[in-house]
């Protein structure tokens, strides 16, 4: 074999991946991803999968078995619905943004009867309103986005869990962009299914989905009248998981990467990881506010993994995103939905530190100025630094 000398796809010097996913992958995780291939039915892989499951349980706040799937977050969402819903079964989607719409679309596409209770983008679902809607019909599941990456609003899963516990309705949440950066207490909150993926706060490349199923969700999966599925059949996956295997060839390297990322989270300790996310997201908000960027999110529970700013009326979101890349090789996100041009979104997912946020603000400041938006020199950085000085790192207090 001939080695390829020059890789034209290596990002430029100074490249900063500041999207709300995929996120930067730490060096130790990249090294784990690059290990030699191993037998996916051998003792090394079984041990690695078993440990990965043990390490992710505290992050999920669960004792459930966890299924690992080759595929992105959307694949894990689709697989989940195909396993817990029967054709024609009614589901309720409490939607508060683009990813709630996606959940509804997947359910419709699979042949479920879908009702949507929609909340204003930027707000979170109101459990009282959802509860009233749940009382109107016999719903097999309630689907909700935990951390709405399109708006920065966070759903009250504990409040929604109180509605579905003791009923036939399974509470299913997409925490693709929340898990490992935002608190999740699956068992305590009564969440039946948590769906997540590798490329957000879990600091891995895209390509690995994961699903944690409560006992009653597993019972639902085992019934016969589910939607057609083969690769994504959770009955096979749950049986294989008992032996620390997967029914088909797993994405071995991704599991190795995830294992390393979870070891890093364990070493830092989960409470510190979560409080670091909150602190950095709040510092970014403080810095943005000082530069005249108001926050789009209105909900009382605001994301710790993505900050969504409104674009000043005189500017276009796309111009900010483009110039951040052209001038600084910094990749932030705009919107590909009804908010197009009106918001910019910056990820605070994974292994970031104060320097990340301060650099974001320096680069944003220069771009805003170039676009004609008045910013006093250093205003954003000063506000963020003042926030950080006044909010020393500490372990998050138990919420709720
Ligand atoms: C990123 C994301 C997904 C998954 O998207 P994929 O591109 O399929 O991995 C799902 N839900 C939310 C809230 C997300 O942020």
Domains, the chain, ordered by start: 27-266 (3.40.640.10), 270-399 (3.90.1150.10)
pLDDT band for 391, please (50, 70, 90 cuts): confident
Indicate if ligand 1 lies below 6 Å from the C-beta of 78.
no
> Above pLDDT 70, what percent of the chain?
97
pLDDT band for 392, please (50, 70, 90 cuts): confident
- HSE-CB at 175 with a 13 A cutoff on CA atoms is 30
pLDDT in tens, 114-137: 999 999 999 999 999 999 999 999
Rounded CA separation 266/65 (Å): 19
* Mean pLDDT for the chain overall: 96
Indicate if ligand 1 lies below 6 Å from the C-beta of 177.
yes
- Span from the CA of 264 to the centroid of ligand 1 (angstroms): 23
Rounded CA separation 183/369 (Å): 36
Rounded CA separation 178/145 (Å): 9
- Is the four-CA dihedral 58, 60, 63, 66 of positive or negative sign? negative
Quick one: which atom of ligand 1 is closest to the CA of 98? Answer: 13
Virtual torsion, Cα 100, 101, 106, 108, nearest 10 deg: 120
Q: For atom 4 of ligand 1, which residue has the closest CA?
A: 73
Quick one: which atom of ligand 1 is closest to the CA of 72? Answer: 9
Q: SS3 of 163, please?
A: helix
pLDDT in tens, 17-36: 999 999 999 999 999 999 99
Indicate if ligand 1 lies below 6 Å from the C-beta of 176.
yes
Question: pTM for this one?
Answer: 0.96
Distances from the Cα of 286 to the Cαs of 54, 149, 295, 334, in angstroms? 37, 19, 10, 20
Task: Please name which of 109, 74, 75 lies closest in space to residue 91, comparing C-alpha atoms.
Answer: 109
Quick one: average pLDDT of 152-165? 98
Q: For atom 9 of ligand 1, which residue has the closest CA?
A: 73
pLDDT in tens, 258-291: 999 999 999 999 999 999 999 999 999 999 999 9
């Amino acid at each position: 074999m001939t080695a390829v000398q020059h890789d034209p796809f290596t990002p430029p010097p100074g490249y900063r991946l500041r999207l709300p996913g995929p996120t930067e992958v730490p060096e130790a995780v990249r090294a784990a991803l690059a290990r030699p291939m191993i037998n996916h039915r051998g003792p090394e892989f079984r041990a690695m999968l078993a440990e990965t499951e043990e390490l992710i349980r505290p992050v999920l706040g669960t004792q459930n078995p966890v299924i690992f799937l080759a595929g992105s977050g959307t694949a894990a969402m689709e697989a989940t619905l195909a396993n817990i819903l029967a054709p024609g079964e009614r589901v309720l989607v409490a939607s508060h943004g683009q990813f709630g719409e996606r959940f509804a679309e997947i359910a419709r596409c699979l042949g479920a009867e879908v009702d949507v209770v929609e909340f204003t983008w930027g707000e979170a679902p109101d459990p009282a309103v959802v509860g009233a809607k749940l009382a109107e019909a016999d719903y097999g599941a309630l689907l909700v986005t935990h951390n709405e990456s399109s708006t920065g609003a966070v759903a009250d899963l504990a409040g929604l869990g109180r509605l579905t516990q003791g009923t036939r309705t399974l509470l299913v949440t997409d925490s693709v962009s929340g898990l490992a950066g935002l608190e999740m207490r699956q068992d305590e909150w009564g969440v039946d299914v948590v769906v997540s993926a590798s490329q957000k706060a879990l600091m891995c490349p895209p390509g690995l989905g994961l699903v944690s199923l409560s006992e009653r969700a597993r019972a639902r999966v085992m019934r016969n009248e589910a939607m057609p599925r083969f690769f994504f059949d959770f009955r096979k996956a749950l049986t294989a998981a008992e032996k620390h295997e997967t029914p088909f060839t797993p994405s071995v390297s991704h599991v190795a990467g995830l294992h390393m990322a979870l070891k890093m989270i364990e070493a830092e300790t989960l409470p510190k990881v979560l409080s670091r996310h909150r602190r950095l997201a709040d510092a970014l908000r403080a810095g943005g506010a000082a530069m005249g960027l108001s926050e789009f999110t209105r909900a009382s529970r605001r994301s710790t993994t993505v900050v969504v700013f409104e674009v000043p009326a005189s500017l276009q979101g796309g111009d900010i995103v483009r110039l951040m890349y052209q001038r600084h090789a910094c990749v932030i996100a705009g919107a590909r939905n009804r908010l197009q041009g009106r918001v910019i979104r910056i990820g605070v997912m994974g292994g970031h530190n104060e320097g990340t946020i301060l650099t974001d603000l320096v680069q944003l400041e220069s771009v805003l100025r170039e676009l004609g938006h008045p910013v006093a020199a250093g205003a954003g950085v000063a506000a963020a630094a003042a926030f950080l000085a006044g909010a020393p790192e500490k372990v998050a207090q138990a919420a709720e």
